[in-house]
């Protein structure tokens, strides 16, 4: 169908699409989770917040699962090295994710305040830890990750958990959390009313400018303090996928090279800077639907900025740049990519249409009347 080189590009895009789906959809439900103990002042308010995401969180989470599944299938080496290298961080994310399904479903089953409070904090952890870890992970990808490959392509991670928590990575972690909370708060603006909506609006108006500042800060840091990676020699881009067949090196400013080469890519960071401001304006003038839209575009712009800066690198090795994984050599075989392309071409449009239908069916604000009517059947 497509030639191998095109397929490699295509799967970089498709994994991008899945991750964007994740940050937009799971982004808002994790953001809501993070805000539950912060702006939910009463049990009713907290229940309204949870019920605003109740019909959607599980479907949303599948963007993450399918994203991880697609990385496994399309970039097996990346999946293997990143998940085992970041072992402790991955486990912490996993434990935080444990809290969500059970928290949402079990919280309302018992009417005891201690029971419900405990689950609120559990859901809070489930909403706060994953965005921070994902941010920290991206922060580390940008700096390169200390791993080596042996002759059998077995990867060996040589850093520790605490090395992940360096200042730049923590900045990206904080940035990522800000974006998720912004996403959650704009969702709540759209789905709630009264005092709760006003509080959500206030959160959006704080997070939006903060996002601009943090994004700009990370950008300046990358331009001045973080060296990028470049491929110095690589054979046929359609050749067998083996990272050991190329050479690469560290080069100051390399993460900005793509923007010089393809000026159109500047759109991504521009969107990442502009749309939080639009989110702020929309929140200010109570355009909650537009605020949510702008926040979602922000998420997209930021993720694309990260991906475009690193392209074609996915997971650079800070120990020996030659070992780095790139879109050209960390991928699956042509056959597998072809089959998955067909599957994605068939299923992604179907998924998008029924997901949209589901959102349309559950459209509308939830208020006190809702909670009174569905006291026994809602979350």
Partner 1 sequence: MDDIVDLSRFQFAMTAMYHFLFVPLTLGLAWILVIMESLYVMTKKEIYKDMTKFWGKLFGINFALGVTTGLTMEFQFGTNWAYYSHYVGDVFGAPLAIEGMMAFFLESTFVGLFFFGWDRLSKLQHLAATWLVALGSSMSALWILIANAWMQNPVGAEFNYETMRMEMTSFADLVFNPVAQVKFVHTVASGYVAGAMFVLAISSYYLLKGRDIGFAKRSFAIAAAFGTAGILCTIVLGDESGYEVGDVQKVKLAAIESEWDTHPAPADFTLIGLPNQEAERTDYAVKIPYALGIIATRSIDKEVTGLKDLMADHEVRIRNGMKAYGLLQKLRAGDKTEENVTAFEELKVDLGYGLLLKRYAPDVVDASDEQIKMAVDDSIPGVAPMFWSFRIMVGCGVFMLFIFLFAFYQSARNTIGENKWFHRICLYSLPLPWIAIEAGWFVAEYGRQPWAIAEVLPTYMGASSVTADQLLFSIISIAAFYTVLLAIEMFLMFRFARLGPSSLKTGKYHFEQLENKQG
Contact characters 326-355, partner 1, x per CB under 8 A: ------xx-xx--xx--xx--xx--x--xx
Q: Per rule CB under 8 A, is residue 157 in the interface with partner 1? A: yes
Minimum CB–partner distance for residue 258 and partner 1 (Å): 27
Q: Which stretch binds partner 1 (CB under 8 A): 31-39, 63-71, 229-237, 303-311?
A: 63-71
Is the CB of 106 or the CB of 293 nearer to partner 1? 106
Q: Which stretch binds partner 1 (CB under 8 A): 173-181, 182-190, 252-260, 371-379?
A: 371-379
Measure the CA angle with vertex 157, ends 154 and 160; round to 5°: 165
Unique residue bearing structure tokens 């994310």: 93
Instruction: Return the structure tokens found at 73.
Output: 């299938």
Within its chain, how far is the Cα of 57 from the centroid?
15
d(CA 79, CA 89): 14
d(CA 216, CA 224): 12
Q: Per rule CB under 8 A, is residue 295 in the interface with partner 1? A: no
Beta strands in 138-233 (DSSP E): 147-149, 155-157, 227-233
Q: Which helix (DSSP H) or strand (DSSP E) does residue 325 occupy?
A: strand 325-326
Is the CB of 72 or the CB of 311 nearer to partner 1? 72
Q: Per rule CB under 8 A, is residue 90 in the interface with partner 1? A: yes
| Binds partner 1 by CB under 8 A, chosen from 2, 38, 98, 286 | 98
Minimum CB–partner distance for residue 52 and partner 1 (Å): 11
- Reference 305, options 237, 243, 223, 250; nearest CA is 223
Backbone angles phi, psi at 311, to 5 degrees: -50, 135
d(CA 136, CA 18): 19
The site for partner 1 (CB under 8 A) is made up of 51, 54-59, 61-62, 65-66, 68-70, 72-74, 76-77, 79-84, 87-88, 90-91, 94-95, 97-98, 100-102, 104-106, 109-110, 151-157, 240-242, 332-333, 335-336, 339-340, 343-344, 347-348, 351, 354-355, 358, 361-362, 376-378
């Amino acid at each position: 169908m497509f030639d191998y080189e095109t397929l490699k590009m295509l799967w970089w895009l498709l994994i991008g699409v899945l991750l964007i789906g994740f940050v937009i959809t799971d982004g808002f439900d994790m953001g809501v989770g993070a805000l539950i103990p912060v702006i939910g002042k009463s049990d009713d308010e907290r229940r309204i917040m949870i019920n605003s995401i109740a019909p959607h969180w599980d479907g949303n989470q599948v963007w993450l699962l399918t994203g991880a599944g697609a990385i496994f299938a399309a970039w097996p080496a990346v999946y293997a090295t990143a998940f085992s290298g970041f072992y402790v961080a991955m486990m912490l994310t996993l434990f935080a994710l444990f809290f969500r399904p059970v928290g949402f479903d079990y919280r309302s089953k018992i009417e005891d305040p201690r029971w419900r409070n405990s689950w609120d904090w559990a859901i809070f952890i489930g909403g706060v830890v994953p965005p921070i870890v994902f941010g920290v992970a991206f922060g580390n990808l940008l700096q390169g990750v200390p791993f080596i490959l042996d002759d059998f392509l077995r990867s060996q991670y040589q850093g520790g958990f605490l090395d992940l928590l360096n200042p730049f990575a923590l900045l990206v972690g904080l940035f990522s959390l800000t974006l998720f909370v912004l996403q959650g708060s704009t969702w709540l603006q759209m789905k709630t009313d009264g005092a709760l909506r006003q509080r959500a609006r206030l959160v959006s108006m704080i997070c939006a400018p903060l996002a601009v500042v943090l994004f700009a800060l990370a950008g300046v840091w990358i331009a001045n303090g973080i060296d990028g990676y470049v491929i110095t020699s690589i054979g046929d881009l359609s050749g067998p996928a083996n990272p050991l067949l190329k050479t690469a090196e560290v080069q100051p400013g390399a993460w900005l090279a793509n923007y010089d080469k393809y000026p159109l890519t500047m759109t991504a960071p521009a969107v990442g800077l502009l749309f939080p401001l639009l989110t702020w304006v929309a929140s200010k003038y109570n355009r909650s639907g537009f605020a949510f839209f702008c926040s979602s575009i922000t998420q997209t712009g930021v993720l694309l900025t990260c991906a475009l800066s690193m392209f074609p690198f996915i997971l650079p090795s800070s120990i020996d740049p030659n070992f780095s994984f790139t879109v050209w050599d960390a991928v699956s075989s042509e056959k597998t990519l072809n089959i998955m392309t067909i599957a994605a071409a068939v299923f992604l449009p179907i998924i998008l249409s029924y997901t949209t239908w589901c959102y349309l069916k559950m459209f509308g604000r939830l208020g006190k009347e809702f909670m009174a009517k569905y006291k026994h059947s809602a979350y």
